[in-house]
Structure 1
Amino acid sequence: MPANQTEEPIDARVRRRLRQLRLELGLTLQQVAERASIDVSTLSRLEAGRRRLALDHVPALAAALGVSTDELLSAAPTLDPRIRAPSRTFAGMTMWPLTRRGPAGGLHAYKILVSTDRRIPPDPLPVHEGHDWLYVLDGRMRLLLGTEDLTIEPGEAVEFTTWTPHWFGAIDGPVELIGIFGPDGEQMHLHE
């Protein structure tokens, strides 16, 4: 470390780690506060640096996050930036994760290969909470969206609320696309 830089203060490091670990686990402030038996406004102020971290908070917060006190107090480990999660194949689609769990705000990106076998939509079309974003890289995708029957060509993107009945599949060959889903859409598309 250069001589003109000082090490990060421990309270700043713990605040940063606290938020990082909470987001990686997909936990809300309320969930962590309940687990740590502290008020949610106190936790919010601790994360934001508007309240000084007391030593008696550290063990309860570490336990709430399922980590040791040392892990909460230490600097975050340097992560390999490569995403190495396995693909999943189901319902005529193979999906490769392009993001990790955590700080993507609950959004997760996938590269998706839709096989030519995925041509017949379910009845009724599914609906769920959230939004879907799809970008077609190759092939022609059929998108049923409410009463609309759309053909999405390579280079075209679609965004829609998933409260609208929807389904996507292949038209005349496999379709390669990028999809971004919130937690509800991810759950739905990974378990169709």
Structure 2
Amino acid sequence: MQDDSLTLIGPRLKSWREKRSMTLAELSETTGISSSTLSRLEAGKRAPNLELVIPIARALRLELDDIVPRATPDPRVTRTTKHVGKVQFETLSPESSPVQTYKVTFPANPVGVVAVPDPKVHDGHEWLYILSGHLRLVIGEQEVVLGPGEAAEFDTRIPHWLSATGAGPVEMLSIFSKEGKRIHLRASPTTKSDTSAGN
């Protein structure tokens, strides 16, 4: 526990004591800790320790988590990049998230080459939002082209396939379940310069 966290324990104890409508004398009688020690502790003039905090917590009907400030976790997401074939996936959510969010980049198709759809199915739903470029989406019997600012959502149990239209790369945000993550990201992590990994 850091020193700055320790200094917050006394004021928290005072706040909880006052919420319980308990005087220092009453808390002293219940815990066996002198009123002067309790007063110094609440004012931050006495360093807290377990011998003091535990009986006070019991007297105030508190858990230690109510007294000891919890560390605020770093909200930043550790970024990793993976390639599945020539499609790049960059993580935008932590591994513990119930849904997985990625920035996905599809490469442009060679000039004059029209990709042949190879639809796949798997459990879950997928939501996507186009950041740049134009995405060719084949789902079931439908085929649509999505441009920047457009979004789509679909049941991934329906055969589906995605690709750039050929007029340049596509960047999009994609959100899917952990099952979807398992299906989509079958390749090992690679460096951003390595785009030779196979499906």
Normalised TM-score (structure 1): 0.59
Rate the CA distance shift 1:136–1:75 in 2: closer, same or farther, 3 A.
same
Within 5 A, what are the aligned runs for 1:48-87? Answer: 77-87=71-81
Quick one: which of 87, 91, 112 aligns to 1:93? 87
Task: Tell me the equivalent position of 1:160.
Answer: 154
Distance 1:75 1:91, change over 3 A: farther
Deviates more, 1:91-100 or 1:134-143: 91-100
Structure 2: gaps spanning 5 or more residues: 1-7, 17-56, 187-198
Deviation, 1:101, is: 1.7
2:168 counterpart letter in structure 1? G
Contact 1:97 1:111 in 2 (8 A): yes
Matched, 1:120 2:174: no
Partner of 1:138: 132
**Residue among 171, 177, 180 paired with 1:176:** 171
Tell me whether 1:9 sits opposite 2:1 in the alignment. Answer: no
Give 1 or 2 for the bigger CA radius of gyration.
Answer: 2
State the 1:120 CA deviation: 2.8
Q: Match of 1:186, SS? A: helix
Q: CA deviation at 1:95?
A: 0.9
Matched-pair identity in %: 33
Whole-Å separation in 1 of the counterparts to 2:81 and 2:15: 43
State whether residues 130 and 170 of structure 2, in contact with CA within 8 Å, keep that contact through their aligned partners in structure 1.
yes
Shift, 1:9, TM fit: 1.3
User: Within 2, Cα distance between the matches of 1:169 and 1:113?
Assistant: 10
Match of 2:107, as an amino acid?
A: S
SS of equivalent residue, structure 2 residue 183: helix
Measure how far apart 1:115 and its partner are: 0.8
Conserved in 2, the CA contact under 8 Å of 1:98 and 1:109? yes
Greater RCO, 1 or 2 (C-alpha within 8 Å, sep 6+)? 2
Aligned residues: 129
Structure 1 stretches of 4+ with a deviation exceeding 6 A read none
- 1:92: how far off? 2.0
Deviation at 1:174? 0.3
TM-score (norm 2): 0.57
- Once the 2 structures are TM-superposed, how far is the Cα of residue 85 of structure 1 from its aligned partner? 2.9
Matches within 5 A, 1:19-38: none
